[in-house]
Amino acid sequence: MVVRRARRLLQVVDAHCGGEPARVVVGGLPVVPGSTMLEKRQYFREHLDHLRCLLCHEPRGYPCQNANFLVAPTSPEASFGVVIGEQAGVYPAMSGHNLMCVATVLVEAGMVSDSNFKLDTPAGIVAVHVEMDGGKARVVTLQNAPSFCRPSDMDIALEVPGVGLVRADVAFGGMWYCIVDVNDVGLGPLDRRRAREIARVGEAIKAAARRHHPVTHPEYAYDGPDILVFREPASRDADEIRALNTVVMSSTTDSAETWSAMLDRSPCGTGTCAVMAQLHARGELGLNERFVHESIVGTHFIGRLTEECVLGDGTKAVRPTISGSAWITQHATVVLDPTDPFPRGILPHVADIW
């Protein structure tokens, strides 16, 4: 009876990658117009944001939930297009942990016939390779779009209310990252038990960066910084470079002074790409060196820079790969009853966990 009364039915597969959840919508979406993935992303933002809210907000979601909408690709070489929706109305051009979850769902559900395929994203085509083991996606490797850290975006001095003077780099890895050494703000070593303080300080720094050092992508309309990574100094072993990090993601953005946030449970795919671009720009990470990026919950992504490249405006960039693992957690049908008082979730958020 509930299903017959439902106004909205979405078929979803939930997964997590490195501890960070992702909800993959595999059925029930309307046709999403657009000749490019950037246009489809913009259409979602303007006309279908209620679906992101429905899936990510309480009572169906929680602060760390993400939504992935499978749409028709705009490139003939891609198997699917993906529009990603996160909290606070963020629609990233690319997200590594989300696409690893999408790839795992596609191969384990038999929605692609090969373990090598391509996904169409607002950041461009992402090549995917999935190592299979007995029908299970064991490791997913993504070839991300070019990442970069420009000289003009390095060693930025930010005066942050309640924090003081903070030095930061800004880099693009699919989102615009403000990158800060956690020891410079007195929060090192990174410890999950200090998550609320880390999130609060991170949001304050991000707000200052957006006010005083706004950036935009040189090839398409994507502004930032829209996310922040705290990292500990990288250490070099015999055959790899390692770093511990946590990424601070906004959960509400009603005003810069009251932004709330959560910490990415995964090592963060685009954050890994941005940090590798930063390290390369600083001469600390070479091409084809193995980079191990650890999250605040102890999970890891493996990254490499495969080549240098140049964007259309002359910006020097690098092409990164990232590898990680994802696990399906449930198959579900999301229902919206016409009498439900929260069709977009509970808004404004209850400020205990948001």
Q: What residues act catalytically?
A: 95, 268
Q: Which residue type is seen at 226?
A: D
Closest C-alpha among 64, 58, 67, 62 to residue 85:
67
Q: Which residues pair with 324 in a beta bridge?
A: 140
For residue 243, what are its two tokens? 């770093």
Across the chain, the runs of DSSP E, i.e. the strands, are: 8-17, 20-27, 67-71, 80-85, 116-121, 124-133, 136-143, 156-160, 164-172, 176-181, 215-216, 223-224, 227-231, 235-236, 240-252, 260-263, 290-294, 300-310, 316-324, 326-336
Identify the DSSP state of 148: B
Spell out a b/e string for 204-232, using b for 16 or more CB atoms within 10 Å of the CB, else e: bbbbbbbeebebebeeeebebbbbbbbbb
Pairing of strands 20-27, 67-71: parallel
Q: Which three-class secondary structure string do you get for 307-346?
A: EEEECCCCCEEEEEEEEECEEEEEEEEEEECCCCCCCCCC
The 3-state DSSP class for residue 188 equals coil
Q: How far apart are CA 194 and CA 296, in angstroms?
A: 11
